[in-house]
A and B are shown apart, each in its own frame.
Chain A
Amino acid sequence: MGPARQAAMLSKKEKELIADIWESLTPVAEDIGADALLRMFASYPGTKTYFSHLDISPRSAHLLSHGKKIVLAIAEGAQDIGQLTVTLAPLQTLHAYQLRIDPTNFKLFSHCMLVALACHMGEDFTPVAHAAMDKYLSAFAAVLSEKYR
């Protein structure tokens, strides 16, 4: 299924919910991002191979700045989900030609992001919010890997 269609699977309500959640998380972007990354490194050690050039110990400057970058990109995409392919065009090129991260890792990161959200939001991370977020992160990952081949 093409990424545009995946994004279309989100209802208007879901898009609003996602936009609201990410807007509220922008102030703590580096904490959420770093948390999700650390969780991924702990559960899926193979993912660390992409970060051999950085210091990814807890609370390191690299980890915080990288986590922040990722969350801000996800939050930006969330403000206009219909335009994901346009918004993410530069990141598509980066991931396809430079980073070349195997796309299976996007699923692993998305899962850890959902766990980070659950820890942060507690009961507010309702099943409905979880479903919407899972769909959004899947669409985001699909758009990101569109230029791979």
Chain B
Amino acid sequence: MVEWTECERATIKDIFAKLDYDSVGPAALSRCLIVYPWTQRYFGNFGNLYNAAAIMGNPNVAKHGTIILHGLDRGVKNMDNMKDTYAELSVLHSEKLHVDPDNFKLISDCLTIVVASRMGKAFTGEVQAALQKFLAVVVSSLGRQYH
């Protein structure tokens, strides 16, 4: 089981409490599709992803980005049992969506960068380490039901 310090718990809750989901979610997903264009393979029916401007203006991308970010809420509320919390979503991503689990790390890195750019100096090395640890556990939980 993952051990969290009180500081890490507080840091994670604080980051998510202050997050503008409707802005950060779309920013993280669109950044992922731009920086790692091969991830677009999972979004064939999203419409125009032709260039960075199109991706950033695409309403389907924006809507989905918000959904993904809200998916992290369950992890924030259940930090001591993320494995079970994400079991169902793990099956979904594996059996229905057929997403290569390596992609989870890509979007998690993009989310880290977006949060960093919003928080500026407040996003210290310690805050970054806590967020990356949290996201790594989510990523690991999402990859568990792949066979």
Would you call A131 and B116 a contact (CB within 8 A)? no
The size of the chain A interface, using a CB distance under 8 A, is 22
> Is B113 an interface position by the 8 A CB rule?
yes
Hey, which chain A residues are within 8 Å of B126, CB to CB? 42
Closest Cβ of chain B: how far from A39's Cβ, in Å?
4
Residues in A86-145 with C-beta less than 8 Å from chain B = 111-112, 114-115, 118-119, 121-123, 125-128, 130-131, 134
Would you call A115 and B56 a contact (CB within 8 A)? no
Decide: A130 near B119, CB < 8 A? Known: A42-B126, A115-B112. Answer: no
Closest Cβ of chain A: how far from B65's Cβ, in Å?
12
Closest Cβ of chain A: how far from B38's Cβ, in Å?
12
Interface size class of B (residues with CB under 8 A): 20 to 34
Specify which of B56, B109, B119 is in contact with A119 (CB 8 Å cutoff).
B119
Binary A-proximity of B101-123 (CB < 8 A = 1, otherwise 0): 00000000100111011111101
Looking at chain A's contact residues, the main secondary structure is: helix
What CA separation (Å) do A123 and B117 show in the bound complex?
Answer: 6
Closest Cβ of chain B: how far from A133's Cβ, in Å?
9
A interface, CB within 8 angstroms of B: 35, 38-39, 41-43, 111-112, 114-115, 118-119, 121-123, 125-128, 130-131, 134
Q: A115-B123, A119-B117 are in contact. List 20 more A-B contacts (CB 8 A).
A: A38-B125, A39-B125, A39-B128, A42-B125, A111-B109, A115-B112, A115-B113, A115-B116, A118-B114, A118-B117, A119-B121, A119-B123, A122-B118, A123-B117, A125-B117, A127-B35, A130-B31, A131-B34, A131-B35, A134-B35
